[in-house]
Amino acid sequence: MERHKALTLKAIVLAMTACLQTGSAETISAPNLVAAAGTSGSFDILLTNVSGEIGAFSFDILASDPRLQFTNATVATTVPYVFVRNSFDQINGFPLATKTGQELLASDAANNGSMVVFAPVALGRVFYTVAPSIPVDSSIAITFGAATSLVGPSGYRFPISTVNGAITIVPEPDQMPLLFALLLVVLRVSGIVVRYRNNEC
């Protein structure tokens, strides 16, 4: 009977451990966005489902169309940065992005060797431009390359999963309806002012 209880307890512990391991898979992801041709923008590369010590990271993203160009990556993220106040690049004045263009490479490390991280956090803010020649409804995939990695304080490479993103090209918003609405507001206000002055006299 005691042996059966011990085996049952062991099975429960193993099942719980497996669930915890499955739930904590490190995931690096790019978003799905919309942009107009001839415009520029930015987005965060996110790290989710991690809770532990991280020593360094590298991400390698590629655009499926050369008309999407990655121009820079910085630690000025909208989601909290992974090495906030402990960035080796920031403290020592190094750029986050080491390669730009159709492919972007970026990397950083914790300045003191490692940092306990509670996700979600950002690995960097990526800036991009879209060429004016790209047609509407084009979808440009953003995929992760082989240089994408996450490293622990002792050099251990975390097994990671990546989630690719895309930028879909949409028409530029037409300015005429906005200008027409503004003109109507101006005319309406002018009419109110004229009526007020006439009533005053």
Please check whether residue 11 lies inside any domain of the structure: no
| pLDDT score at 48 | 93
Q: Mean pLDDT over residues 146-172, rounded?
A: 93
The range of the structural domain enclosing residue 133 comes to 25-170
Residue 195 main-chain phi, psi, to 5 deg: -60, -40
Res. 65 pLDDT band, cuts 50 70 90: very high
| pLDDT score at 4 | 42
Please check whether residue 5 lies inside any domain of the structure: no
Please check whether residue 131 lies inside any domain of the structure: yes
Please check whether residue 148 lies inside any domain of the structure: yes
Question: Which CATH number is 126's domain given?
Answer: 2.60.40.680
Residue 132 preceded by cis peptide, ω within 30? no
pLDDT in tens, 68-124: 999 999 999 999 999 999 999 999 999 999 999 999 999 999 999 899 988 899 999
Please check whether residue 187 lies inside any domain of the structure: no
Residues 6 or more apart whose Cβ sits within 8 Å of residue 42: 125, 126, 127, 128
pLDDT in tens, 190-200: 665 556 556 66
Measured CA to CA, the distance from residue 37 to residue 134 in angstroms comes to: 6
For residue 87, the SS3 value is: strand
Number of domains observed in the structure of the chain: 1
